[in-house]
């Protein structure tokens, strides 16, 4: 019988553990000790309120606060900072290129071809310094390809909003890079407009009334060096006529070392439109890299070096008259007559524009006609007899800094 009772007692044992009352009270006391009291009531009846830490408030009070009270509190505290302090706070996100991703290759195909580049209105900038200069000048970025996140974090946060950020392998950037040592970041920008650009204040304060006209410059390295010299001398603007290499070609950008974002550049101009971009009283001077202009008129030589930088190929409209003159024995000159003066003579009395021609094709007939119509002339840079013509970038630097010297002497600096 005892065994039966014991067996029945085991069968009626509750399935869930029974919690004693003293155990619940102990847990309540532990939770109470962990809480921060709002008020302390002493046996004497004294009530002491505990001051909350700044920025903390009871959950119930915060939940019961009306929207009006919350707006008033925000007005008292002041508006929050609109500019995020860190890259993480800005909420920027980037994509990671997967194997076989064609986004980099498709964009590079466009920006490395001049027809596609002009049609799409996009340019390629490579390197942290060049990209930083472009952003500072107000250029509009569209896509950034980078191999390390630190390169993106170095850029201004406010300039990255709405820009596609794509992280790719360094090997992919190296395959498309024109640099000997790629820096791991490439940027696709909208083609800058010189009217909308913001140039450095120091550059604007030192701007000179001298413009530069590039005529038939085909070498990217020479054009980039010329732009760098123009920015260093304080040139007011650089005009590029049709036939010049694209100023936004990657090789020109690399040689320019950021000069594209320091001096206004107007690209792909017809000669009829060149005077529209110059002051009304500008005198145009053509660079002459030798002193044989007069002798060339007499000898009618076909060598481009004998004409300074005059284009060797004569316009078709002069061929018929030239043949008639040869049959009749007459020797009429088809070149405009321009006064030849030394490069260090005073030619900066009025706003001036200097024409620099390419080493292969030389300056065009239109440049000589423009110089004649504006009362300009030819600036002679003497060289030792027997020495070939100077490099076009070297000649441009000599003339621009000589013009700067003349203006400083006139101003008494």
- pLDDT, one tens digit per residue, over 360-407 is 777 889 999 999 999 999 999 888 888 777 889 999 999 999 999 999
In which band, very low, low, confident or very high, does the pLDDT at 99 lie, cut at 50, 70 and 90?
confident
**Rounded Cα gap, residues 149 and 168, in angstroms:** 10
Distance of alpha carbon 137 from alpha carbon 197, whole angstroms: 6
Query: Of the given ranges (32-46, 80-94, 300-314, 396-410), which has the lowest mean pLDDT?
Result: 300-314
pLDDT of residue 411: 81
Q: Percent of the chain, pLDDT > 70?
A: 67
Place of tokens 């000649």: 395
- What is the C-alpha to C-alpha distance for residues 366 and 357, in angstroms, rounded to an integer? 12
Confirm whether pTM is higher than 0.75: no
Tokens of 402: 């000589």
Total residue count of the chain as it appears in this document: 413
Question: Which of 89-93, 103-107, 384-388 shows the lowest mean pLDDT across its residues?
Answer: 89-93
Query: Tell me: the pLDDT tens digits for 26-77?
Result: 555 555 555 666 676 767 667 667 665 555 555 544 445 555 555 555 554 4
The per-residue pLDDT for range 175-194, each reduced to its tens digit, is 898 888 899 999 999 999 99
């Amino acid at each position: 019988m005892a065994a039966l009772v014991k067996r029945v007692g085991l069968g009626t044992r509750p399935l869930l553990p029974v919690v004693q009352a003293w155990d619940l009270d102990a847990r309540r006391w532990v939770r109470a000790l962990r809480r921060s009291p709002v008020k302390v009531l002493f046996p004497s009846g004294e009530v002491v309120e505990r001051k909350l830490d700044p920025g903390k408030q009871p959950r119930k009070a915060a939940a019961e606060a009306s929207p009006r009270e919350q707006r008033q509190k925000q007005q008292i505290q002041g508006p929050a900072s609109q500019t995020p302090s860190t890259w993480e706070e800005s909420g920027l996100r980037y994509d990671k290129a997967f194997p076989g991703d064609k986004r980099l290759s498709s964009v590079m195909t466009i920006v490395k071809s001049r027809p596609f580049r002009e049609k799409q209105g996009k340019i390629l900038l490579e390197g942290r310094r060049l990209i930083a200069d472009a952003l500072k000048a107000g250029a509009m970025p569209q896509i950034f390809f980078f191999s390390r996140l630190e390169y993106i974090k170095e850029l201004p946060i406010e300039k990255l909003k709405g820009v596609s950020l794509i992280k790719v392998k360094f090997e992919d950037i190296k395959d498309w890079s024109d640099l000997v040592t790629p820096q791991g970041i490439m940027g696709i920008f909208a083609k800058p407009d010189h009217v909308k650009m913001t140039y450095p204040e120091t550059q604007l304060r030192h701007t000179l009334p001298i413009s530069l006209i590039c005529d038939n410059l085909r070498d990217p390295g020479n054009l980039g060096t010329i732009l760098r010299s123009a920015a260093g001398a304080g040139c007011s603007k650089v005009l590029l006529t049709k036939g010049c290499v694209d100023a936004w070609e990657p090789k020109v950008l690399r040689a320019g070392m950021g000069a594209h974002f320091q001096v206004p550049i107007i690209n792909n101009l017809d000669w009829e439109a060149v005077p529209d971009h110059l002051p009304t009283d500008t005198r145009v001077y053509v660079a002459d890299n030798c002193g044989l202009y007069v002798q060339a008129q007499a000898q009618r030589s076909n060598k481009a070096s004998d004409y300074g930088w005059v284009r060797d190929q004569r316009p078709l409209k002069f061929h018929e008259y030239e043949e008639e003159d040869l049959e009749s024995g007459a020797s009429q000159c088809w070149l405009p007559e321009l006064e030849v003066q030394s490069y260090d003579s005073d030619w900066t009395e009025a706003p001036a524009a200097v024409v620099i021609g390419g080493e292969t094709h030389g300056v065009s007939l239109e440049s000589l006609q423009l110089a004649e119509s504006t009362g300009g002339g030819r600036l002679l840079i003497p060289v030792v007899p027997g020495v070939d013509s100077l490099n076009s970038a070297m000649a441009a630097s000599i003339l621009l800094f000589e013009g700067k010297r003349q203006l400083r002497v006139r101003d008494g600096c």
